[in-house]
A and B are shown apart, each in its own frame.
Chain A
Amino acid sequence: MENTKDSQGLVWEVFVQKKPGQPYVHCGNVHAHDAEMALQNARDVYTRRNEGNALWVLPSSEIVASSPEDLGSFFEPANDKIYRHPTFYQLPESISHM
Chain B
Amino acid sequence: MNKQETLFNYILRIADSQLILGHRLSEWTGHGPMLEEELASANTALDLIGQANSLYAYATQVEGKGRTEDDLAYLRSEREFFNHLLSEQPRGDFGFSMLRQMLCDAFDVLFYSALMKSSDNTLSGIAAKAYKESQYHLRHSSSWTERLGDGTEESHQRMQNSLNELWRFTDDLFAMRAADLELVNTGIAVDTSSFREAWFKQVSEVLERATLTIPTHAFMQKGSLEGRHTEHLGYLLAEMQSLHRAIPGVKW
Contact = CB atoms under 8 A, between A and B. Distances in A.
Please determine if A and B sit in direct contact within the complex, based on CB atoms under 8 angstroms apart.
yes
Interface of A: 8-9, 30-34, 36-37, 40-41, 43-45, 48
A37 to B, nearest CB: 7
Nearest to A46: B39
A45 to B, nearest CB: 5
A16 to B, nearest CB: 15
Given A8-B34, A31-B34, A37 B143 contact: yes
A48 B46 CA distance: 11
B143 A32 contact: no
B149 to A, nearest CB: 14
A37 B43 CA distance: 15
Interface of B: 34-37, 39-40, 43, 136, 139-140, 143, 147
Contacts of B43: 44, 48
6 contacts: A31-B34, A31-B36, A34-B147, A41-B39, A41-B40, A44-B40
Nearest to A45: B39
Contacts of B136: 43
B39 A44 contact: yes
Q: Which 4 A-B pairs give the minimum distances between C-beta atoms?
A: A44-B40, A41-B36, A44-B39, A44-B43
A6 to B, nearest CB: 11
Contacts of B139: 40
Given A8-B34, A31-B34, A40 B39 contact: no
A30 B36 contact: yes
